[in-house]
Amino acid sequence: EADIYQTPRYLVIGTGKKITLECSQTMGHDKMYWYQQDPGMELHLIHYSYGVNSTEKGDLSSESTVSRIRTEHFPLTLESARPSHTSQYLCASSEFDRGRDGYTFGSGTRLTVV
The answer to whether residues 94 and 3 touch, using CB atoms and an 8 Å cutoff, is no
The H or E element spanning position 83 is: none
98 binds other proteins (CB under 8 A): yes
As measured in angstroms, the least distance from the Cβ of 68 to other proteins is 16
β partners of residue 20:
77
The answer to whether residues 19 and 77 touch, using CB atoms and an 8 Å cutoff, is yes
The total of other beta-carbon atoms located within 10 Å of residue 63's CB is 13
What mask, x for binding other proteins by CB under 8 A, covers residues 5 to 24?
Answer: --------------------
As measured in angstroms, the least distance from the Cβ of 41 to other proteins is 6
Q: Which residues bind other proteins (CB under 8 A)?
A: 2, 4, 31, 33, 35, 40-43, 45, 48, 59, 90, 94, 96, 98-108
